[in-house]
Structure 1
């Protein structure tokens, strides 16, 4: 099918000929996430849907595979630029873009600049950026939308769509400049810069009269950390900064080398434990030998006494003496006394033992003296190790104190460095004053450009122009309430008549003729403003079955004169308005209408591009035979 640019294009035909599918195909090929082409012959017989757009003379071909009867959409999309005409078959269609990528590319082709609008005070959520996805809402009016008294725009009844239309309408109306979003980002950056300069300038002002509290505190801390001599004083602000800068300078640190393992405290502790163990062993050995010596002395004493007592054996002259009676008194003995030979043998053995003990005594004394020498040496070694341990503990404590001092000095020096880096000298603040003045001027300029009240006023002006044209078109169509001022209600997305008794929204008006008429009037008024202001939306309005208020869509009226009754005259006024609208815009607007009525007027016949009757349909009959 071929449609004329900048004109009214009418497709008339019988019911079920595929007229309504035209709008669904355009919507689907624009990147919609769901294919709404009705299930039936079209979904069965067609493999690809394709639309060739004209962009200032450049052909933009968008094709998308038919998802068939079982799926909601296909991800196979084909985009080609600089196309002169539709190809005869889809053999060259190969997926080269995603649905999201297509919407981005269409936004780029439409020259929709980066944008976002959220002028409501205290709005937490971010607004919806205007893109090709929202632009199409203003170009399509499906059969169940054109006569809907509650929904004015395409897909307005779906979740999230009304908010998207409200967010993007200011941009599409031209109430926001094209660089509004860039200015918003510049404004945010300028505010950050201004706050920084104000902070720096406030610091400089404080330092220009006297040292700030933070500088004085840092000065005291630096003296306490021995970074500044304790008797140092600041003469003025500049001198104070010099002292702080000197305190923040890095300085070398000398540390005791503790890398020698022999000096390690743990090794010394182990050495002390070993010496104590050895000393304990020597002491026990000395005690043992001293006990042995005492026992030997006791033995000698006892042995001498025994020897003296046994000397009495000289009284016994014969071994034959009577052993039953006492040799002194001759009394009978209960226990028989030993014989002389036995006593002599015991005495001899005792004498041998005494001789051995006397020989061993000097050697025992010498060994004990040797052990005492070892003990003295171990005592000295233990004292030396204990002294080393005490010295090491003292050294470690000193190092700890030095480390604490170094940590405190590093902390104070770091704070001083941060302070000096974030404050500027006050000897000459003319430069920052100039920067501050420039920053304030930039912020003020951007605030004026981004003033929500200015945008609100621009929106009001744009909607006033739209309302003026709605009123004009409604009066041309002779709609009810057109004798009152009409406006587009942006908050409720409807048309409202401002009557003497108060606002009257479309959903409170009666008659399907009014609903259709106000839908057409509102979209024509919007697109007139879009075209006059050169807004980045498709110069297209596709309407399905606008005569349904007078003739049911399922009833094929065929050709009518447009003058025989009120219904015909109402339909004729509607189409004549569409025709004259395109003529008045000098080829800047294309309107496509699919309907089942056909007026006999010459202008209507000239605008008719397709007649689908007597078996002629959107899908040729031979396509159906091949399915």
Structure 2
């Protein structure tokens, strides 16, 4: 996406318009002393592009207290726009007021013209984002199938001073969960791993998975309902048998029919309810056998554990033998030496017996688990089986019981359970899902190929920074997609380097972003603007931030570091040499704290302004006239 910032605009409260003029196809350097507003340039750009207080920090002192409107004039896809946003209040409230001109007009005084959502809609069109560009992967903080914001793609456009020498984090805003959640899709879209058709396929996959989940949940719900009804029916049959209404010996299926007839016809004839051996007694006998087996196994296990404990006691008692053999064996002869050897062998046997797992130990554990499960199953079955006492039950009591059972029976939903339609729908949707997943399965292979290509682009800039990277200059680029970071590895090695130097971390960031943007330009990416703002890349080399920028070379504690500072500018100069040959366009805005001789040999550097803090700063100083 062709993009560059033409002007940064500040409408000051004193009525003046502060302007910073930038150019395209150059490294636009703003250098100077600390506390002059250089870092605020990055924050102002983020603020104007609908930034929130989660991502933007603009100091109220000196900057916020003097600015009425913040603005940018920029070119995107050969169209010129001006955007401005109202002041941030003293208590930190961000302004909802936006001025927006689709002709690039710079007003004398901005005024609220469009809502934020309207501006986002215009910008998202330029970022090639429409209703089809949705979140396909999802995460805890973002919902699948919701529209992507253009702001997510801007993580490729800044290297703040908090990130640039960070060994663990390579992209701004990754402390926010939603940015971490959308990272895979932002990368995949930007680099062409997926496209609109892929998103549509993934969206359909998500929808089918959701529909199948709903159907399976409905099926499970109906199954549980039928299971609950069946349990209630078993309890009613148990109650009927125990109260002399049904023959105790009737199996469940027949008992259901008899109960239905009993409820429909009334008490024309009650069961004698006596049988030679009740089902309950059979189950109870079986349960007792299992309980006995389980008790024996547990007793054996307890005894065996006691035996093992006694062996550990023996080991403790024999442990000094090892010390005696190691320290005094040369001085012991004859029967004493033979005695020590016997004890040492006994210690070895004891240790072997302690640590050796015999097959029967594993089998005991398995048998205990099996029998415990069977015991629980018998307890459940017993709770639903009638236990009939051999006594005569008065007819009046039987009639009362019948009335109670009849009332509960009528509450049951006994309609037949037909899951065939749900099963058919699940089957059809599963087949459709399988076909779509086969279509989408090539994504992983394509991502691997693209990351390999990205590593080649990054390697170009590792070669450019070879001297600055010291011992890592001959290493190969290895981009970690999952963890969003670049590392290095030796040729033909499967192990990545453990890098701890902040200077090396700085260059890893620069090489990664130069390589990424070179590839994005070459591939004509639709989603990533062709610019980057880099804040104070030389920061790892200066221990003290309070120094005059003109004396930066002399302030280095390690004099050889000046070559590394100069290499920062050389790397981006090399970047321009390569992309301009391809007739590609790109803008770098670099906020620095070093003198002009750091880039004296570079042809693609444009000095925007020097913020010396005396004659110039982002917010001009008010000079008192001498009387």
* TM-score, reference length from structure 2: 0.54
Structure 1 residue 544, shift from structure 2 partner: 0.4
Matched, 1:13 2:32: yes
Q: Secondary structure at the match of 1:47?
A: strand
Deviations 1:503-522 (A, max 9, x none): 436xx412111111111111
Deviations 1:253-291 (A, max 9, x none): xxxxxxxxxxxxxxxxxxxxxxxxxxxxxxxxxxxxxxx
Distance in 2 (CA, whole Å) between partners of 1:2 and 1:530 is 26
Matched, 1:57 2:45: no
Distance in 2 (CA, whole Å) between partners of 1:20 and 1:154 is 14
Matched, 1:585 2:582: no
Q: Secondary structure at the match of 1:509?
A: coil
CA contact (8 A) 1:9 1:592 kept: yes
Deviations 1:519-578 (A, max 9, x none): 111111111121112212111110000011112443333267899942111111111111
Structure 1 residue 441, shift from structure 2 partner: 13
Distance in 2 (CA, whole Å) between partners of 1:152 and 1:460 is 20
Matched, 1:165 2:153: no
Distance 1:486 1:46, change over 3 A: same
**Aligned counterpart for 1:522 among listed residues 512, 527, 534:** 512
Distance in 2 (CA, whole Å) between partners of 1:156 and 1:43 is 26
CA contact (8 A) 1:475 1:482 kept: yes
- Residue 175 of structure 1 is matched in structure 2 by 193
Structure 1 residue 112, shift from structure 2 partner: 2.7
Distance 1:496 1:130, change over 3 A: farther
| More helix as a share of residues | 1
CA contact (8 A) 2:69 2:110 kept: no
CA contact (8 A) 2:43 2:58 kept: yes
Distance in 2 (CA, whole Å) between partners of 1:11 and 1:465 is 33
Matched, 1:599 2:596: yes
Structure 1 residue 442, shift from structure 2 partner: 10
- Residue 154 of structure 2 is matched in structure 1 by 136
Q: Secondary structure at the match of 2:35?
A: coil
Deviations 1:177-198 (A, max 9, x none): 2332334457789999xxxxxx
Q: Secondary structure at the match of 1:542?
A: strand
Distance 1:616 1:119, change over 3 A: closer
Distance 1:159 1:444, change over 3 A: closer
Superposed counterparts of 1:435-454, under 5 Å = 449-451=439-441, 454=442
- Residue 541 of structure 1 is matched in structure 2 by 532
CA contact (8 A) 1:495 1:522 kept: yes
Matched, 1:476 2:464: yes
Distance in 2 (CA, whole Å) between partners of 1:511 and 1:602 is 27
More off after superposition, 516-525 vs 52-61:
52-61
Distance 1:448 1:3, change over 3 A: farther
Distance in 1 (CA, whole Å) between partners of 2:572 and 2:594 is 15
- Residue 106 of structure 1 is matched in structure 2 by 123
- Residue 322 of structure 2 is matched in structure 1 by none
Matched, 1:617 2:614: no
CA contact (8 A) 1:104 1:132 kept: no
Distance in 1 (CA, whole Å) between partners of 2:578 and 2:545 is 30
Deviations 1:283-326 (A, max 9, x none): xxxxxxxxxxxxxxxxxxxxxxxxxxxxxxxxxxxxxxxxxxxx
Q: Secondary structure at the match of 1:515?
A: helix
CA contact (8 A) 2:553 2:594 kept: no
Distance in 1 (CA, whole Å) between partners of 2:464 and 2:144 is 40
**Aligned counterpart for 2:103 among listed residues 82, 92, 96:** 82
Superposed counterparts of 1:127-276, under 5 Å = 130-184=148-202
- Residue 488 of structure 1 is matched in structure 2 by 479
- Residue 447 of structure 2 is matched in structure 1 by 459
Distance in 2 (CA, whole Å) between partners of 1:81 and 1:442 is 45
CA contact (8 A) 2:142 2:178 kept: no
Matched, 1:70 2:88: no
Distance in 2 (CA, whole Å) between partners of 1:46 and 1:33 is 18
Deviations 1:115-157 (A, max 9, x none): 3455699x99637754312111110111111111111101112
Whose radius of gyration is greater, 1 or 2?
A: 1
Distance in 2 (CA, whole Å) between partners of 1:491 and 1:189 is 25
Distance in 2 (CA, whole Å) between partners of 1:124 and 1:590 is 32
CA contact (8 A) 1:550 1:567 kept: yes
Deviations 1:315-352 (A, max 9, x none): xxxxxxxxxxxxxxxxxxxxxxxxxxxxxxxxxxxxxx
Q: Secondary structure at the match of 2:163?
A: helix
Q: Secondary structure at the match of 1:23?
A: helix
Distance in 2 (CA, whole Å) between partners of 1:12 and 1:594 is 6
Q: Secondary structure at the match of 2:461?
A: helix
The RMSD of aligned alpha carbons is 3.9
* TM-score, reference length from structure 1: 0.54
Distance in 1 (CA, whole Å) between partners of 2:67 and 2:206 is 52
Q: Secondary structure at the match of 1:621?
A: coil
Distance 1:576 1:125, change over 3 A: same
